[in-house]
Amino acid sequence: MPRNAYVTLVTNADYADGAYALVRSLKLTGTEADIVVMHTGGVAVDDLVALEDLGAELVKADLLPTSAGFNERHARAKIHADHPFTKGDKPAFHTPLDNFAKLRLWELDEYDTVVFIDADAIVVRNIDKLFGYPEFSAAPNVYETLADFRRLNSGVFVAKPSRATFAAMLDKLDAPDALWPRTDQTFLQSFFPHWHGLPVFYNMLQYVWFNLPELWDWASVSVVHYQYEKPWQDDHAKADRLRPLIDLWQAYFDGESIPDVGSLPNPAKPAQ
């Protein structure tokens, strides 16, 4: 039988909280696949114990051995200044250089197929069918207009671990003067230019809730991805507009009063 796993990445204590809600949500779907939490060492061991208690396997994932020039080009202050986010706000704990550690999942070659899910997401219904998709499959980066379907979002994707693939990635990643403005996301779209498109419901970005409400359908949504502002932040500028989604994340985090998403109301559509 093929051996499959869900994989996420934790780089700090905030994302440890996010991973806790994610792992709990995966367990509630009834999946029998392994759940692997890669962590970079930026999290205290005590912040990871709760993930083990939920049944996740912890795997240390060192930052990639990138050059000094690469690290300078992708430092937080520089990359955010040169390529600012204009649609939403990234929290202070966002560290662009850490994102590339995600590529270490290709070293997990004890698995036939892995589905990577960012730690700022929850899974609201079983998605095991994704293990049958080819490498490299990802959902589009749709959160503002339908024109966004041409770009992938690396918050959910299907991969086939291979150390040969990982070595080829390192060669391309740190080529002379290489710059990946949206870090792993930009890189993966370049490395897999003929990526396979997953249905958008497998990586529903939270801004769809108010930007494209006609696209949101709880009968189909499988993964809710909290891009930009995070649901565990005490408050942020879009919290009122995203309150139903924040409350949903909190229910999974607390493990209390988790609703049947099929019964939740869809967002109100704009008046004609």
Best CA proximity match to 188, nearest among 162, 152, 142? 152
Q: Determine, yes or no, domain membership for 153.
A: yes
Q: Is the backbone peptide bond immediately before 136 cis, with ω within 30 degrees of 0?
A: yes
pLDDT in tens, 97-126: 899 999 999 999 999 999 999 999 999 999
Q: The domain that contains 33 carries what CATH number?
A: 3.90.550.10
- Going from the C-alpha of 154 to that of each of 105, 174, 184, the distances in angstroms are 13, 19, 7
Q: In this structure, is residue 164 part of a structural domain?
A: yes
pLDDT at 47: 86
Contact (Cβ atoms closer than 8 angstroms) between residue 226 and residue 14 = no
Dist. CA 65–CA 74, nearest whole Å: 13
pLDDT for residue 85 is more than 60: no
Tokens of 179: 């710059």
Predicted confidence (pLDDT) at residue 78 exceeds the cutoff of 80: no
- Structural domain contains residue 272: no
Mean pLDDT of 207-218: 96
Predicted confidence (pLDDT) per residue in 174-186, tens digit: 999 898 988 999 9
d(CA 116, CA 11): 15
Residue 271 forms part of a structural domain: no
- In this structure, what are the phi and psi dihedrals at residue 246, rounded to the nearest 5 degrees? -65, -45
**Res 94 pLDDT > 60:** no
The pLDDT value recorded for residue 90 is 58
Residue 12 belongs to domain spanning: 4-263
Kindly write down the DSSP assignment for every residue of 21-52, as one continuous string: HHHHHHHHTT--SEEEEEE-S-S-GGGTHHHH
**Domain total for the chain?**
1
